[in-house]
Amino acid sequence: MQRNPEQNWFGEKQVEADEKTKLVRGVFDSVADKYDIMNDLMSGGLHRLWKNRFVRMIRPRPQDHHLDVAGGTGDIAFRVRKAAGPNARITICDLDENMLGVGRDRAIDRGWLNDFDWVTGNAEALPLPDESVNTYSIAFGLRNVTRIDTALTEAFRVLKPGGRFYCLEFSRVDEPLLAKIYDGFSYNVIPRLGEMVANDRGSYQYLVESIRKFPSQDELAGRMSKAGFENARFENLSFGVAAIHQGWKI
């Protein structure tokens, strides 16, 4: 299989790889302020339950250094902070400054002034040293990465031996009738909601299309294994509307 086959696809539109990264940043510049509201509308609120399950699977420990990639608004990092306690080191890395700004404001609102390291960076070239983190998480972000195989290799690089990789992402529905209903909702309703709530139909059209372009559960597990992860596996959520992938660096 070709490495990084998705690098020239921005949703259904074919683009140059460098252009894709800029376009993705533009999407999140546009939707940052409404991102969490739209997640509720897109998932019927289920994303909150999925994220809770995700962090329970991570089992954050106070002695660990946890890296959350594409986590600018803090949704995963805040859950990790609550589970691991005040002494855990948590780094939040995101491509988009506006998303990080939303997250910083939300952290301050919760009284967390110095509880997180906020880093602007690309999942394909993380600004962290080799073997520097114990856990790596990415939630609803991997499908927006230009080069997924490169990002998986980077995740493997920054993890310490014994470190764990976790990915929560929209995936492939495994029940045919539900898949048909879900496709109808995604293509016909979500872009309209984006236009009504975030005044941005185009960005949400892209987000729907990006889900369909994302690798299947089995394909992503295989690509994780090629990046070096052991025991790469996944758990479907809501019949495969989303899935949690995990792997270990031995």
pLDDT digits (tens, 9 = 90+) for 151-208: 999 999 999 999 999 999 999 998 889 899 988 988 888 888 878 877 888 888 988 8
Distance of CA 241 to the CA centre of its chain: 14
At residue 34, the pLDDT reads 76
Averaged confidence pLDDT in the chain: 93
228-248: pLDDT as tens digits = 999 999 999 999 999 999 999
Percentage of the chain lying above the pLDDT 90 cut: 74
**Contact of 166 with 70, CB cutoff 8 Å:** no
Q: Tell me how far CA of residue 23 lies from CA of 15, 138, 144, 222, in angstroms.
A: 10, 20, 10, 28
Which of 6-15, 39-48, 195-204, 240-249 is most confident? 240-249
Residue 249 near residue 237 (C-beta atoms within 8 A): no
Nearest to 138 by CA among 80, 206, 213: 80
**DSSP code at position 125:** B
Query: What is the predicted pLDDT for the residue at 118?
Result: 97
CA–CA gap between residue 219 and residue 225 (Å, rounded) = 10
At residue 45, the 3 state secondary structure works out as coil
pLDDT band at 126 (very low <50, low <70, confident <90, very high): very high
Q: Yes or no: is domain 5-248 CATH 3.40.50.150?
A: yes
* Whether the predicted pLDDT of 77 surpasses 70: yes
Mean pLDDT for 48-74 is 96
Span between the terminal Cα atoms of the chain, in Å: 25
pTM of this prediction exceeds 0.85 = yes
